[in-house]
Amino acid sequence: MCRVFAGQDPEGYRQINRSIRIDGHSTSIQLEATFWALLDEIADSQGLTTPKFISKLYDEAIEINGQIPNFASMLRTTCALYLRGHRPGIEEHAAQKRQAA
């Protein structure tokens, strides 16, 4: 069983930094390559670029929670939720498209 996990391609857990503008400020986020690939997939499924998706996620999380103690960890758990099948509903997606227009 552990061979599946232990034998994974090291490229998947290589650290990658991306610069993203959030709330008007440029910031650098460091995540493993696998998480960036998942965030790209999630953003694409929402019809957004990855930076736009991350910025919207940040804004909504601040609105709901008031603060984000560790944004990189939040992005990783976002990926985990996505892999577990948690996806925005069709109506939420349509509302996001209307707001973007």
Q: What is the pLDDT of residues 39-86, one digit of tens each?
A: 999 999 999 999 999 999 999 999 999 999 999 999 999 999 999 999
- The verdict on residue 99 lying in a domain is no
- The verdict on residue 60 lying in a domain is yes
- The verdict on residue 41 lying in a domain is yes
- We report the CATH number of the domain holding residue 36 as 1.10.3990.20
Query: Total structural domains in the chain?
Result: 1
Instruction: Kindly state the DSSP code that residue 10 receives in the 8-state scheme.
Output: G
pLDDT of residue 42: 96
Residues 6+ apart with CB under 8 A from 43: 49, 50, 52, 53, 54
- The verdict on residue 62 lying in a domain is yes
Asked if pLDDT for residue 90 goes beyond 60, the answer is: no
Q: Which residues form the domain of 41?
A: 10-86
Token pair recorded at residue 50: 């990855």
Asked if pLDDT for residue 91 goes beyond 60, the answer is: no
How far apart CA 50 and CA 13 sit, in angstroms, is 19
